[in-house]
Amino acid sequence: MRQISSNKSSLFVCRIGLICSHFNNRWTRAMPKFSGGCLCGAVRYECNAEPLGMAICHCTHCQKVSGSAFSVNIVVPAPSVTWQGQSASYADTGESGKPLSRKFCRNCGSSLATETEALPGAIIIKAGTLDDKSWLKPNYHLWTRSAQPWVQIQSGATTFPKGRT
Ligand SMILES: [Zn+2]
Ligand SMILES: [Zn+2]
């Protein structure tokens, strides 16, 4: 059992990988804030924390890995996510020059998450894998210097020509 928070209603990861809370001497399964998974369903995740940020990344690596014009990313504390199923990871070096690990499904190839030294203790979930995307509100754009010229960035959005760090 691994403890992932130390406030009054402590959260733990139980034997079968679910996030549970211990409160008033009772164990209950903590409701995930959001969940998702890969295309084939072999890899699933649940997150128990509010996102720290939501960003659209236009870097050339995100374009490759998503097979699209950009990736939509949710940053959360790494211990707040529990994973089920077998994934694989690819060791990449981001355009920032910092090493990062890209998690994907070894069966269907869906891109699931990224961990980078630029954001220690955090994990970046690929928002296209969410079960419910209705609440997504990306609030900034990264690496806009390589944004596709036909992508329209909403006026008033916070943009960074390169990464934030
Ligand atoms: Zn899969
Ligand atoms: Zn990127």
Q: How many independent structural domains does the chain possess?
A: 2
In CATH, what number is assigned to the domain containing residue 151? 3.90.1590.10
Q: Do 75 and 101 fall into the same domain?
A: yes
Other beta carbons within 10 Å of 104:
20
Residue 27 CA to ligand 2 centre (angstroms): 39
pLDDT (tens digit per residue) in 33-78: 999 999 999 999 999 999 999 999 999 999 999 999 999 999 999 9
CA-wise closest residue to 124 among 70, 29, 54? 54
Residue 62 CA to ligand 2 centre (angstroms): 4
Please give the model's pTM, rounded to 2 decimal places. Answer: 0.81
Residue type, 97: G
Residue 130 CA to ligand 1 centre (angstroms): 13
Answer whether residue 99 is part of any domain. yes
